[in-house]
Each structure stands twice: as C-alpha cells, then as structure tokens.
Amino acid sequence: MSVFNKPKVTLVGAGPGDPDLLTIKGAKALASADVILYDALANKELLDYAPKRAKKIFVGKRKGIHTCSQDDINEMLVANAFEHGHVVRLKGGDPFIFGRGSEEIVFIESYGIDTELVPGISSSMAVPAYQGISLTQRKVSESFWVLTGTTSQKKLSADIEIAAKSSATVVILMGMGKLHQIVRLFQDQNKGEVPVAIIQNGTTDNERIGVGVVDTIEEIVNDNQLSNPAIIVIGEVVRHSHKLKSIYEEMKNSNQSSPSLLLEIHDME
Ligand SMILES: C[S@@+](CC[C@H](N)C(=O)[O-])C[C@H]1O[C@@H](n2cnc3c(N)ncnc32)[C@H](O)[C@@H]1O
C-alpha cells in the first residue's frame, strides 16, 4: 500500500461499453487506484486510466460462468482495501442499476472502510440512444420503465406484466432467456404490432440489432442468433428512431409484416 492511501473502495460505473462513455470522475478514480476489480461488461480499455503498478483483477463471467461469486468479490474488496489502499470496483453501466452496487457498499462499510460511488452511464439509456431511440418523446411516450427480465430467483419479473399494460416505453435488461414469455405478455395486451428493438453489445464495435414488432421479434432473434448481453426495447419510440424509421416505413409501404424485411440486421457503420 502506498503510504498515503488509506483503505477505501470507490465503485465506478464503467458505462455501457464505449470506453469514451466513462465519466471524468470515473477516470480520476481509476488514476488513483492501487487495485481494480473489474467485470466482464466493463471495457478493458478503461484499465489504461489506471497506473501501470495497479493490480488488475478480473471478477466477471467467462463463457457464462462466474469466475467469482458475489461473496468472493465482497471479501476481495475488503481484503485488497486493507492490504493495498484504494480499490476501484469497476462495474458495467451504472453500479446501482441491476449492479449489486448497494450490497457491496453495505458489506464494505461494515468493516469501517470508506466508500464512494461514481455513477455511470447505464446501458438501459445509452444503448437505445446510440440507435436513435429516444425513450421518452413528446406525443409518443410519456415515461419509460427499466426492468430486469430475470429476478434473483431466476424467474420472470412480475413487473413486466404491469409494464405491458402501461403506455410506457419498456426497456428490459437480462431478458433474452425469457423472450418468449415477454412476447406472450405483450400479445395478451393486443400489442403484437408494437415495435421492438433488441440490441446486443450496444455502443461497442460488436453491436448488433434486430428490429421488428412483438409478433415477429422471436423469429428475428432466432434467425440472427442474437444473444446476451442485450437490451430489449418495446414501444412506439422505436419506430420513431431516425436510424430505424426507414425499416418500419418500408414495412408499412409493402403492406405486410414480411419476415424477410424484418430479418434485416443492422450492423454498425
Ligand atoms: C447485470 S446487468 C448490469 C446493468 C448495468 N449496471 C447498467 O447500468 O447498464 C447486465 C445486463 O445489462 C444489459 N447490458 C449491459 N451492457 C450492455 C450492452 N453494451 N449492450 C446491451 N445490453 C447491455 C444486458 O441486458 C445485460 O444482461
């Protein structure tokens, strides 16, 4: 531990993937780190902001399997803070949006270690934004919901049924494994024609997007092998995106919901 660094843990939101979406405060925290614990969704390029001497520990998922449990991570945060001083916990998006950031803070503080939270740009807003999707839009959508598709019990969140009944834009994280059930809930509300965009690896060079409507989105996902990490955006605002508008206009002009048109995948320029 450097002489001046007393034990401290800073939780830093790494943003959604594009490394330029880190905040200045996040970059400053990284620059003063002795140790960094980082997740799979945090862009590794961000480690360049840290001193070369800083210890960098990967604690994310590899091939879908957690390399460390949450308990392991909590213990490592505390142990490294006592041993080395300033620990930065770099987490994808924002640490408080489905990021378990608050749990980590409670655990760390229980050891008398100071914590600080640097909010990050959440994928729930930035990923749709990069595709021109405005989650609220005058005369189109007055609100948006951000939900998890999968609860801590691995079940579909009951809130999705309520969201499907609302007129809000619905943004679902961690929902790919439950897409069929999600589609059914919207169909039950006669929303089969509502536009849907599924964006995988948003804001990165590997970004892929499938667009369609509730009734066709499963076919689009299957045919194009869209998978995690992905965000599901359901609502009329998708049709109004300046980037996606032409697809929906073409669909309307051809007067059919032709799968061949809907199967189009928009690779990033
Ligand atoms: C455990 S949650 C973490 C969310 C994060 N704290 C945030 O604010 O963005 C992980 C889920 O976020 C979504 N996600 C995160 N980054 C993404 C990205 N770049 N593109 C698409 N989805 C993303 C996916 O649904 C993924 O399964």
Decide if pLDDT at 259 tops 60.
no
State the pLDDT confidence band at 204, using cuts at 50, 70 and 90: very high
Residue minimizing CA distance to atom 5 of ligand 1: 93
C-alpha to C-alpha distance for 113 and 200, rounded to whole angstroms: 37
Q: Give the distance, in angstroms, between the CA of residue 123 and the centroid of all CA atoms in the same chain.
A: 4
Residue-wise pLDDT for 212-252, tens only, equals 999 999 999 999 999 999 999 999 999 999 999 998 888 87
Of 231, 232, 268, the residue with max ligand 1 atoms within 8 A of its CB, to mutate for a pocket test, comes to: 231
pLDDT at 263: 41
Decide if pLDDT at 45 tops 80.
yes
109 Cα: distance to centroid of ligand 1 (angstroms) = 26
pLDDT at 260: 39
61 Cα: distance to centroid of ligand 1 (angstroms) = 13
Structure tokens at 151: 């609860």
> Which atom of ligand 1 is closest in space to residue 172's alpha carbon?
25
Mean pLDDT of 101-116: 98
Determine the 3-state secondary structure of 69 from DSSP.
coil
Q: Does residue 244 contact residue 132 with C-beta atoms inside 8 Å?
A: yes
> Which atom of ligand 1 is closest in space to residue 149's alpha carbon?
25
Decide if pLDDT at 33 tops 80.
yes
CB of 17 closer than 6 angstroms to any ligand 1 atom: yes
* Mean pLDDT value across the chain: 92
> Which atom of ligand 1 is closest in space to residue 122's alpha carbon?
8
Task: Show which residues are catalytic.
Answer: 39, 61, 174
93 Cα: distance to centroid of ligand 1 (angstroms) = 7
Q: Which residues contact 252 (CB under 8 A, 6 or more apart)?
A: none
Global pTM value: 0.93
Structure tokens at 73: 């991570």
Residue-wise pLDDT for 154-202, tens only, equals 999 999 999 999 999 999 999 999 999 999 999 999 999 999 999 999 9
CB of 149 closer than 6 angstroms to any ligand 1 atom: no
Which range among 36-45, 57-66, 226-235 shows the weakest confidence by mean pLDDT?
A: 57-66
